[in-house]
A = this chain, B = another copy of it.
Amino acid sequence: MVGFTTSTCLVLSLAALSGTRTTAFQPVARPPASSCHSGTPSVSGPCSTNTRRHPRGWVMAAAATTADAHSTSRTSSPSAAASASSLPTFDLNKYLLDKKDAVESALDASLQVTSPQVAKITESMRYSLLAGGKRIRPIMCIAACEMAGGTAEDAMAAAVALEMIHTMSLIHDDLPSMDNDSLRRGKPTNHVIYGEDVAILAGDALLSTAFEHVAKHTPSHVPAERVVSVIARLAASVGATGLAGGQVMDLECEGKKGVGLEELTWIHTHKTAALLKVSVAAGAILGGASAEEVEACETYALDIGLAFQVADDILDVTASTEALGKTAGKDLNMDKTTYPKLLGLEGSREEARRLVGEAKAALGRFGGRAAPLLAIADYIVERKN
- Chain A interface residues (CB < 8 Å from chain B): 111, 114-115, 117-118, 120-122, 125, 168-169, 172, 175, 177-178, 195-198, 200-205, 207-212, 215-216, 223-225, 227-229, 231-232, 234-245, 247-249, 251-252, 266, 270
* Given A197-B177, A198-B251, A211-B231, A204 contacting B245 (CB threshold 8 A): no
Please determine whether A205 and B238 come into contact, CB atoms closer than 8 angstroms.
yes
Instruction: Report how far A202 CA is from B178 CA in the complex, Å.
Output: 13
Q: How far is the CA of A101 from the CA of B229 in the complex (A)?
A: 29
> Chain B residues near A215 (CB, 8 Å)?
228-229, 231-232, 235
Query: Given A168-B204, A204-B204, A247-B201: A211 and B196 within 8 A (CB)?
Result: no
Name which of A114, A209, A223, A240 has the most chain B CB atoms within 10 A of its CB: A240
Identity of the chain B residue whose Cβ is nearest the Cβ of A227 in the assembled complex:
B228
**This protein's copies in its complex:** 2
Q: How far is the CA of A248 from the CA of B201 in the complex (A)?
A: 7
Report whether B240 and A122 are in contact in the complex, using a CB–CB cutoff of 8 Å. yes
Q: How far is the CA of A212 from the CA of B114 in the complex (A)?
A: 28
Task: Considering the complex, give the chain B residue whose CB is closest to the CB of A122.
Answer: B240
The residues of B that contact A232 with a CB separation of less than 8 Å are 211-212, 215-216
Chain B residues closer than 8 Å to A234, beta-carbon distance:
208, 211
Q: What is the CB-to-nearest-CB distance from A254 to chain B, in angstroms, rounded to a whole number? A: 10
A273 vs B227: C-alpha distance when bound (angstroms): 27
Residue numbers in B under 8 Å from A210 (CB-CB): 235
Contacts of A236 in B (CB 8 A): 208, 212
Q: Output the least CB separation between A112 and chain B (Å).
A: 10
Report the 3 A-B pairs with minimum CB-CB distance, sorted nearest first.
A212-B235, A208-B238, A215-B232
The answer to whether A244 touches B177, judged by C-beta atoms less than 8 angstroms apart, is: no
A201-B228 contact, Cβ under 8 Å, with A208-B244, A244-B121: no
For A240, the chain B residues whose CB sits under 8 A away are 111, 114, 118, 121-122, 125, 205, 209
Shortest Cβ gap from A36 to chain B (Å): 40
| Smallest Cβ-Cβ distance to A251: which chain B residue | B197
Task: Jot down 8 A-B pairs with beta carbons below 8 A, ordered by A.
Answer: A117-B245, A175-B197, A200-B200, A205-B244, A212-B232, A212-B236, A224-B224, A224-B225
B-chain residues with CB within 8 Å of residue A208 when the two chains form the complex: 207, 234-239, 242, 244
- CB-CB under 8 A from A252, the residues of chain B are 120
Known: A211-B231, A212-B235, A228-B231. 18 other contacts (CB 8 A): A111-B240, A114-B240, A117-B270, A120-B248, A169-B204, A177-B195, A178-B200, A201-B245, A205-B245, A208-B235, A208-B236, A208-B239, A212-B236, A215-B232, A215-B235, A224-B224, A224-B227, A227-B228
Residues from chain B with a CB closer than 8 A to the CB of A200 are 172, 175, 177-178, 200
